[in-house]
Structure 1
Amino acid sequence: MVQVNIDKKTGFLSIIILALVAIIILMTFGSDRHDGLPGMHKGGMHKGDGLSSSKLNGADVMFLQMMIAHHQQAIDISELAIVTSKDAELVALATIIRDGQTAEIIQMKNWLLQAGKDIEMDHEMGHDMGGMLTDTELSTLKASKGSTFDRLWLEGMTNHHNGALHMTTMISDAQNPEIKQFGQKIIEVQSAQNAQMKTMLSRLG
């Protein structure tokens, strides 16, 4: 009889211990699952997370919208040079400008879309863009050939770059650090290209 009582007590204690272990396990895993619910902060992504590029102020948006339109004309006249000019260095530079600014337009459009902003600017804003070739200048360029075309293109693209460099002054009021870094890249690249075009113009005589 004594042995039986001992077994019963032992069995009862075992049940209690197992129950406590089960409760601890449930509490542990239950807490982990709760931490992983959407919208909870636990060192991972949640609904509030997003790219810093989605935060743009008015200066950011205006700069991107204007620069997209400005870049597009540079791409258009670069493509014209690629099929018109016989100068290897000029064609190579035009190709670099076309490819580089095409990639930059894609990036700028992505920034605006992520921020829920319009890609196209108001028509009135276009009058504030410096360096843009007029319709008359574009027609003259398209009708030109040989060294005349090369000179007009280099002069036109230099002025176009100068206009873009002036537009980068807007990044001083920019909020987004990525936009400021992007504007600084434009300054560095187009300043170097202007120096190259100055040398090319000297070569043409």
Structure 2
Amino acid sequence: MRNTRTLTRRAALGAVSVTAALALAACGGSGDSGDSGSSGDAGSNSSTSASAGTGSTAGAHNAQDVTFAQGMIPHHRQALEVAALAADRASSAQVKDLASRVEKAQDPEIRTMSGWLTAWGEDVPAASGGAAESMPGMDHSAGSGMPGMMDGSDMDMLKKASGADFDTMFLTMMIEHHKGAVDMATTEKSKGTYQPATAMSDAIVTAQTAEITEMNKLLGKG
């Protein structure tokens, strides 16, 4: 009988010990969980800060970036209008090919720059007839003051031309138009702060400078 009571007591003590051990483990686990929670919060804050930093960098732009986009959009639109004329007016396959490349390069850039302006809460230039002075609502930086833009009489002459005459007029006018775009892009590269815009301006300078050389060769000037 005494042995039975002793065994019962030991079993009870063992159960208490196990319970205590489990309680301590639970407390320790709770502390670990708390630490993990703190780490998670820190990680979350770090992630949030990183995201905020990225957004801040991506959204950092200045007045020059706005001027660049608002000016280059109508500038590109006129280039697309001129390039579209080549399909049924040009006699040179090389001129038609160049016009096609201009369309493929500049149309996506117009959409990209329009997206920037919308994101910045700035006005996207309305589509116009192509002539510099027919751009309502634009200031001097994006209107008639834009370098290389063709005026109404230039566009009328080009639309009435065909064959070799069109080729010569197209190349001559597009060279000046490209030079204007290069000037605008060069200004953006030196004064803009929005990285995607300065990267685009760098691409414009490279591509259009090469096309100017190509067009001069087609005119026999290279």
Q: Give the TM-score normalised by the residue count of structure 1.
A: 0.86
The CA RMSD measured in Å over matched residues stands at 2.5
The letter of the residue matching 1:84 is R
Report matched runs for 1:60-79 at 5 Å: 60-79=65-84
Rounded Cα–Cα distance in structure 1 between residues aligned with 2:220 and 2:33: 75
Residue 5, structure 1, aligned to residue 22, structure 2: no
Rounded Cα–Cα distance in structure 2 between residues aligned with 1:160 and 1:196: 14
Report what 2:110 is aligned to. 105
Residue 56, structure 1, aligned to residue 74, structure 2: no
Which digits, 9 at most, give the CA deviation of each residue in 1:102-151, with x for residues without a partner?
11112222222333332228422312201111111101100111100111
Q: How many residues in Structure 1 have an aligned counterpart in Structure 2?
A: 202
- Over 3 Å counting, the alpha-carbon distance change for 1:167 and 1:19 in structure 2 is same
Q: Which runs of 5+ in 1 are unaligned?
A: none
Identical-pair percentage: 27
Rounded Cα–Cα distance in structure 1 between residues aligned with 2:157 and 2:150: 10
Q: Which stretch shifts more, 127-136 or 103-112? A: 103-112
Rounded Cα–Cα distance in structure 1 between residues aligned with 2:171 and 2:89: 13
Report matched runs for 1:127-142 at 5 Å: 127-142=144-159
Q: Which has the larger radius of gyration?
A: 2
Q: Which runs of 5+ in 2 are unaligned?
A: 127-136
Query: Alignment partner of 2:165: what SS?
Result: helix
Higher relative contact order (CA 8 A, sep 6+): 1
- Over 3 Å counting, the alpha-carbon distance change for 1:26 and 1:65 in structure 2 is farther
Rounded Cα–Cα distance in structure 2 between residues aligned with 1:34 and 1:109: 43
Q: Give the TM-score normalised by the residue count of structure 2.
A: 0.80
* Structure 1 residue 87: Cα displacement: 1.3
Report what 1:41 is aligned to. 45
* Structure 1 residue 99: Cα displacement: 0.7
Rounded Cα–Cα distance in structure 2 between residues aligned with 1:137 and 1:151: 13
Query: Alignment partner of 1:123: what SS?
Result: coil
- Over 3 Å counting, the alpha-carbon distance change for 1:201 and 1:46 in structure 2 is same
Native 8 Å contact 1:35 1:42 kept in 2: no
The letter of the residue matching 2:178 is H
